[in-house]
């Protein structure tokens, strides 16, 4: 899928996490403002551990109360009032429940590692944390869940914990920035790919004269546009997560990190397509279509139950309904079957057609 951002919000989306002096740090519970400095996080960790010790000292089974965040809700009545960035009740992790014992053990082990990272001002990836205690952690997913739980518990973002992603995102175009004192000037070579920095907190002096940012899912599409010198011709920035994006690239948004929505969401992002409604208009050949699998259909039906589609994105809902009705989906790389430069012609037309810029 491709999407585009208008310049003001697009640059803000890329730099929101690295300009904290200009962005109000908000806790994820009721909008309370909480500091996420290492000293304050260490204090909150100490208070949390002390509460568990007090429980043990008073013969109470230790438990942890976590705010729950709803990725989405289903309400087909049209009266959707759910908010994915506000808590939706509590989840209690208690040692009294056998199924919770392992989860609490992992949470405390990961919390100890994070405390050490903060105290020593060091950074580590989720994979690094897993390999510190592979005998305790049954799999990577357990560590990932613990980190999310800790973010909710301490009311902070993952990067505040000094947990960094393994970067794989790419960017090219009319952009210049500095990373840890190193100047990166994509503008000099707007069709050359640069890695998106792993630690966005070390990025500063961002400057851009781009007209918009284009976000593409697949690296193959990214490379196709690079070959066509798309950024140079259209004065834009292109970003790709190379399939499933890492966290640095995903600072544009993530439903799985709903608790951190204030730092992630980009309200002005627009879906460019490819739409089923484009099929006849652009005369796509049949080879651009693939039959939907049963899994595809199940996922599409589940998405249609999300009430925000009717409230905030009726066009998305309409496209899903048409896709299900026809039982076909697009293979975006196949759009170049008639012409290798087709995407470079299609995308600007779709942008101007939607008046995105």
Catalytic center residues: 131
β-partners of residue 151 are none
**Closest C-alpha among 159, 168, 225 to residue 195:** 168
How many helices (H) does the chain have, and how many strands (E)?
Answer: 13, 13
Q: Which helix (H) or strand (E) holds 323?
A: helix 314-326
Pairing of strands 87-94, 170-173: unpaired
**Number of residues that this document lists for the chain:** 357
In whole angstroms, give the CA distance from residue 266 to residue 273: 18
Cα atoms in the Cβ-side hemisphere of radius 13 Å centred on 148: 19
CA 222 to chain CA mean position, Å: 19
Q: How many other C-beta atoms lie within 10 A of the C-beta of residue 169?
A: 23
- Strand, coil or helix: 216: strand
């Amino acid at each position: 899928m491709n999407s585009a951002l208008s310049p003001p919000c697009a640059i803000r989306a890329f730099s929101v996490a690295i300009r904290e002096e200009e962005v109000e740090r908000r806790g994820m519970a009721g909008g309370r403002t909480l500091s996420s400095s290492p000293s304050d996080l260490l204090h909150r960790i100490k208070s949390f551990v002390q509460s568990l010790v007090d429980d043990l000292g008073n013969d109470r089974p230790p438990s942890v109360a976590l705010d729950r965040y709803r990725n989405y809700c289903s309400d087909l009545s049209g009266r959707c009032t759910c908010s994915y960035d506000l808590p939706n009740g509590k989840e209690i992790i208690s040692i009294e429940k056998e199924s919770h014992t392992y989860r609490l053990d992992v949470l405390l082990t990961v919390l100890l590692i994070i405390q050490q990272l903060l105290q020593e001002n060091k950074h580590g990836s989720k994979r690094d944390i897993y390999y510190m205690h592979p005998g305790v952690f049954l799999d990577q997913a357990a560590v990932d869940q613990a980190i999310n739980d800790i973010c909710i518990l301490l009311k902070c973002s993952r990067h505040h914990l000094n947990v960094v992603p393994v970067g794989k995102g790419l960017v090219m175009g009319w952009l210049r920035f500095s990373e840890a004192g190193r100047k990166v000037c994509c503008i000099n070579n707007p069709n050359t790919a640069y890695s998106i920095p792993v630690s966005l907190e070390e990025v500063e002096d961002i400057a851009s004269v781009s007209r918009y940012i284009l976000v593409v899912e697949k690296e193959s599409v990214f490379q196709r546009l690079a070959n066509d010198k798309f950024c140079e011709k259209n004065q834009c920035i292109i970003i790709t997560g190379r399939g499933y994006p890492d966290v640095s690239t995903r600072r544009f948004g993530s439903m799985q990190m709903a608790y951190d929505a204030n730092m992630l969401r980009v309200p002005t992002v627009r879906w460019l397509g490819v739409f089923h409604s484009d099929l006849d208009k652009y005369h796509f050949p049949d080879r651009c279509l693939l039959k939907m699998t049963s899994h595809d259909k199940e996922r599409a039906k589940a998405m249609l139950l999300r009430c925000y589609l009717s409230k905030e994105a009726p066009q998305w809902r309409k496209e899903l309904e048409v896709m299900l009705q026809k039982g076909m989906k697009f293979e975006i790389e196949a759009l170049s079957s008639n012409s290798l430069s087709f995407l470079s012609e299609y995308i600007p037309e779709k942008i101007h057609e939607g008046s995105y810029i």
